[in-house]
Chain A
Amino acid sequence: MKAGKVNTASRRPRFNWLNDLWPWLCAASVALSLLMLGALLALLLVRGLGHFWPATLEEVTLRSGDTFAGHAVREVELPQQAGDERLYFTGNQDIEGARWRWVTIEEIAERAQPTDLIRLERSPWGDFIGRLSAIEQDGQRWEGDAAWHRLATLLALPASQRQESQLLLTTVDGQTLRQPLASVVSAQAPNAMSWWQKTHVWGDGVWRFLSEGPRAANTDGGVWPAIFGTVLMVILMSVMVTPFGVLAAIYLNEIAHQGRLTRLVRIGVRNLAGVPSIVYGVFGLGVFVYGIGGSLDEWFFSDTLPSPTFGTGGLLWASLTLALLTLPVVIVATEEGLARIPEAQREGAVALGATRLEMLTRIVLPMAAPAMLTGVILAVARAAGEVAPLMLVGVAKLAPQMPIDGEFPYLHLERKFMHLGYHLFDTAFHGEDVQAAIPLVYATALLLVLIVLVLNLTAIFLRHYLRRQRGNEC
C-alpha cells in the first residue's frame, strides 16, 4: 500500500486498492467497449469507402531490372527475417497470369508516378494497368493524347452507340495488347487527375457499386441485386409479420383472460426472441420447403418434377421463415404499447357505448400505432442482418434472374434471391480471389451495418418521441 502514502494524508484518505481501483476497471470496460465499437465502425468506413478513391499508380523498377505498374495495397513484415514486403495490385491477368505481386521493400530500386499510366476496367479479365498507345477505328488512327481524348469521348456515349474500335495497349515492361472497345467498362488516368476529379470518380464508383450487378465471380462490380433481394424479402416479411404480430398482441392483451396460462404464453413468446435464428431456419427448411413446398409441387407442378419449383429454397419461404423469426419482436413491442395505454381510455370508450371493436379500432389502436411501428422497424432491422436461417431456405450466391421481372406473374416467389449478408459471407469465404474481393466485402459490410443502424436509430427515436408525447398526455 505504499502508493497511497501521499504527503497530504490528513486531507486525502489513504489509497485503498479495492476501494479506489475497481471503479477505474469498471470505467475502463465502458471505454473498452466504446473503443471496440468505434474501431469497428471506423475500419468499415475507411476501408469500405476508401476502396472507391482512385489510387495512385506507380511504375516500380526492381533491382533485377524488372518493371511493373500497379498500386500499393499494404505492407506486411516478412515472416522469418527483418524488413517488410509490399503487396501491389498489378491487374493484367490475361498477360501476366496474376493480379497481385508481393515485393520486398529492399528489392525496389525506383518508384515513379508517370501521369500517362492508365487503368482500364474491362469486363472479362478485370483491370488493365499500363499505357494507351493508340486507338484504331475504321482505318483511322489516333495516337498519344489524341487517343486518350478519343477514348474519353467514346466511353461517354452509351454502350449501344459506341463504334467498333480497337485499343492498342502497352504494359510498362513493353508487352502489347489489342483490346476491343466493347469489353472496356471505364478508363481513368488517376495520376493526372486533380483532387476534384478524383472526388467525382469516387462518387461515381460508389454509385456504380450500389447500382450495378456483380462481375468476375463477385470480385468486382456492385451489389444491386443483393440490395434488391434484401429489400424485397424484408418487405414481404413485414407484410406477413405485421398483421399477425399485431393480432396476437391484441389477443393476448385485450381479449384473452388474464390468468396463469396467458402469463405463461407471454413468457414463452418473449423467450422465442432468444431462440437461435438457425433453429428457425431448420423449421423453415423442414416445414415450409420440404413439407409445404414438396406438397405444392406434387399438386400443381408435377409436370416439372423431379426438379422442384416450390420444394426448394426460395423468396417466399425465406420471408415466411424470417416472419416467424421476428414475430416475437413485433408481439412484444405492440404489447408494450398496448399495456401503456391507461385503462381509463378503454373504460371511457365502453362507457360511452362503444363496442369492443369500436373501442379497439378508434381508441386503442391509434394510440398504440407508434409502438407497433417501432416493433416492425425493429423486426426489419433484425431480419436485414440475419443470414444463418437464409442459408437453409433460399438464398443464392448468384441469382441468374431477379425475383421481379416483366414475365407473368411478375413477382416470382419461388425464385432464389441474393442477400447482402450472404453475399458478404460468400465473397469473403468462398471466393476464388479473396484478396481482390476484400475491398468490396468491406463496402458491403459497411452498407449492411448502415442499413441496420439507421433502422435501429429510427426505432429508438420513435420510441423516445412516443414516450415523451405520452408523458404529456397522461
Chain B
Amino acid sequence: MTPPRLTSSRQPLRLLQDRVATGLITAGGVGVLLAILAIGVFLIWETLPLLAIGESLALAKLSPLAWGTLKAALAALLFAIPVALGAAIYSALFMSARLRTRIKPALEMMEAIPGVVVGFIAGLILAPWVERHLASALVLMVWLPLSAGLAGLLWQLAKARLQRRLPLSWAGLWLIPWLALMVVIALWLAPWMEQLWLGGDLRQLLDQRFGMDYATRNALIVGLAMGFAVIPSIYSLAEDALADVPSTLIEGAQALGASRWQALWKVALAAAGPGIFSAVMIGAGRAVGETMIVLMASGNTALFSASPFEGMRSMAAAIAIELPEASPGGQTYHLLIFAALVLFIFTFLVNTLAEVVRQRLRRRYRQMGGTS
C-alpha cells in the first residue's frame, strides 16, 4: 500500500474528516449499545405498574407458568446433558482428527434447524406415534444405551483384525447402522414384551394402577424435542473445553499408570469442569427461553403436575399466545411483560456466569500450557 500523495493544503480537511468520522462511529456505537440496554429498561419500566396490584394475583397467574418452564427445561436437560457430554467426551478424546473436522460442524448444524420444524415433527408426528407405542418408546430409552454397551462388549471379544477394521476412533460413524438396527429390533420386540409383562396396554396400566393420565403432547415429548435442540449448544462448548485441556495432562496421568477411565474422570473432566459447567448453563438458558418447540409440543395446559405424561405451559409459550391479544396497559399485559423480564434476567445471569467461568478457565489453561 502506497500512501496517497497529498498536498499539505488538504491536511486540515483530512483531520476534520477523521474527527467527524470518529465522532460518528462513537455516536453510532454508543447508540447501538444504548438501544440494547433499552431492552432491560423497557421491561423493568413496564412491570412497575404491577407493584400496585396484589402480589397474590401475580403469583397465582405466574407460578404455573414458572413450573411449566422449569419442567420443560428439566426434561430437555435430562435428555440433552448425557448425550451432549458423551458426544463431547468422545469427539474430544477419542475421535480421529479427520473425522472430527467433519462431525463437529455437522453436529453444530443441528443448532441451525429452526424451532418450528422441530416443534412440528415433535407435535404432529412424534407425539401421536409415542401415544400409540408408549411401551416401545420407553423400551428404546433403556435399550439404546444397553446396546451401545453390547457393541463395546462384542468389540472386546472380536478378533484383532476386525478391531483394526472398525477402530474406536471411527465408532461415532460405524455405530450409526448398529444403533439403527437396534432400534428396529427394539420396535419389533417391544409389543411382545408389553403383551407378556404388562398385560397388553401400558397406558391402561398406568391409568389403573397409578392413576396417571396420558396427554398426547407431554413433558416426555417436549424433553425429546427440546433436548434435540439443546444438544448442539452444550456439545459445542463442552467439546471446546475438553479439547483445550493440555494433552500433556492426560498423557502424564496415563504415564503414571492411570487407566483411561481415571485419566478422564480425575484429570480431563476435573480440568475442564468449569467449561462443562458453563456449557450446561448455556444449554439451560436456551431450554428456558425456547418458545416454538414448547408451544407446539406441550399442549399448553397450565398444570401443576410432575408427571412426565402430562403437558405444561411455559412462560415463553404463554407470552407468544396471550400477548398479541392482551390490551396494552392491561393487567395481563403487564404480567406477561413481567414474565419476559424474568426470562431476560435469568438467561442474562446464566450466560454471564458461563462467560466469566469460561474466561477464567481459558486463562488457567494458558498458565498450564506455559509451565509445561
Residues of A near any B CB (own CB < 8 A): 3-4, 6, 12, 15-16, 18-38, 40, 43-44, 76-77, 243-245, 247-252, 254-256, 265, 267-272, 274-283, 285-287, 290, 313, 324, 327-328, 331, 349, 352-358, 360, 362-363, 381, 384-388, 391-392, 421-422, 424-425, 428-429, 434, 438, 441, 445, 448-449, 452-453, 456-457, 460
Contacts and interface: CB of A to CB of B under 8 A. Distances in A.
B286 A274 contact: yes
B25 A282 contact: no
A290 B261 CA distance: 59
A281 B21 CA distance: 33
Contacts of B120: 424-425, 428, 441, 445
B115 A385 contact: yes
A339 to B, nearest CB: 14
Contacts of A77: 132
Interface of B: 1, 3-4, 14-15, 17-18, 21-22, 25-26, 28-33, 35-36, 38-39, 42-43, 46, 82-87, 89-91, 94-95, 103, 105-107, 109-110, 112-121, 123-125, 132, 144-145, 147-149, 151-153, 155-157, 168, 171-173, 175-176, 178-180, 228, 231, 235, 259-261, 264, 282, 285-286, 288-292, 295-296, 316, 319-320, 323-324, 328, 336-337, 340, 343-344, 347-348, 350-352, 355-356
Contacts of A283: 38-39, 42-43, 340
Contacts of B324: 285, 313, 391-392
B29 A387 contact: no
B176 A31 contact: yes
B171 A247 contact: no
Nearest to A349: B1
A276 B89 contact: no
A244 B85 CA distance: 37
A251 B25 contact: yes
Given A30-B103, A286-B337, A357-B17, 18 more contacts: A3-B157, A20-B156, A23-B152, A24-B171, A26-B90, A28-B147, A30-B175, A31-B179, A32-B144, A33-B83, A37-B110, A248-B28, A269-B36, A270-B355, A355-B18, A356-B18, A424-B117, A448-B116
B52 to A, nearest CB: 18
A93 B332 CA distance: 42
A434 B124 contact: yes
Contacts of A249: 29
Contact of A31 (B21, B105, B171, B337): B171
A28 B328 contact: no
A387 B30 contact: no
Greatest chain B CB density within 10 A among A24, A255, A331, A441 is at A24
Contact of B35 (A26, A324, A387, A392): A324
Nearest to A282: B340
A33 B107 contact: yes
A327 B33 CA distance: 10
Contact of A28 (B26, B38, B144, B231): B144
B10 to A, nearest CB: 11
Contacts of B14: 355, 357-358
B34 to A, nearest CB: 10
Contacts of A36: 228
Contact of A35 (B176, B264, B355): B176
B6 to A, nearest CB: 8
A397 B15 CA distance: 54
A158 B290 CA distance: 47
B86 A279 contact: no
12 contacts: A20-B156, A25-B152, A33-B110, A40-B113, A254-B25, A275-B343, A276-B288, A282-B336, A388-B115, A388-B292, A441-B124, A452-B112
Nearest to A6: B157
B148 A25 contact: yes
B175 A28 contact: yes
A29 B109 contact: no
Dominant SS at the B interface?
Answer: helix
A30 B91 contact: yes
Nearest to A271: B351
Contact of B15 (A355, A384, A386, A448): A355
Contacts of A250: 25, 29
Contacts of A76: 132
**Chain B CB within 10 A, most for which of A324, A388, A438:** A388
Contacts of A255: 22, 25-26, 29
A29 B83 contact: yes
Nearest to A263: B359
Contacts of B117: 40, 44, 385, 424, 445, 448-449
Nearest to A276: B289
Given A385-B115, A449-B113, A27 B32 contact: no
Given A267-B352, A356-B22, A429-B296, A31 B173 contact: yes
Contact of A453 (B32, B109, B282, B352): B109
A387 B260 contact: no
B78 to A, nearest CB: 14
A396 to B, nearest CB: 11
Contacts of B152: 20-21, 23-25
A276 B291 contact: yes
Contact of B116 (A281, A424, A438): A424
Contact of A274 (B157, B180, B285): B285
A15 B261 CA distance: 13
A422 B344 CA distance: 23
Top 8 closest pairs, chain A to chain B, by CB: A276-B289, A251-B29, A385-B114, A28-B148, A24-B152, A29-B86, A26-B90, A30-B172
Contacts of A271: 347-348, 351-352, 355
A170 to B, nearest CB: 36
Contacts of B179: 28, 31-32, 35
A363 B4 CA distance: 13
Contact of B355 (A3, A15, A16, A267): A267
Q: Which of A25, A358, A421 has the most CB of B within 10 A?
A: A25
B347 A456 contact: no
A256 B110 CA distance: 36
Contacts of A24: 148-149, 151-152, 155, 168, 171, 175
Contacts of B340: 278-279, 282-283
A244 to B, nearest CB: 5
Nearest to A22: B261
B29 A449 contact: no
A354 B90 CA distance: 51
A445 B151 CA distance: 35
Contact of B94 (A26, A35, A290, A387): A26
Nearest to A348: B1
Contact of A278 (B36, B171, B172, B316): B316
B259 A19 contact: yes
A40 B103 CA distance: 17
A251 B180 CA distance: 52
A294 B229 CA distance: 37
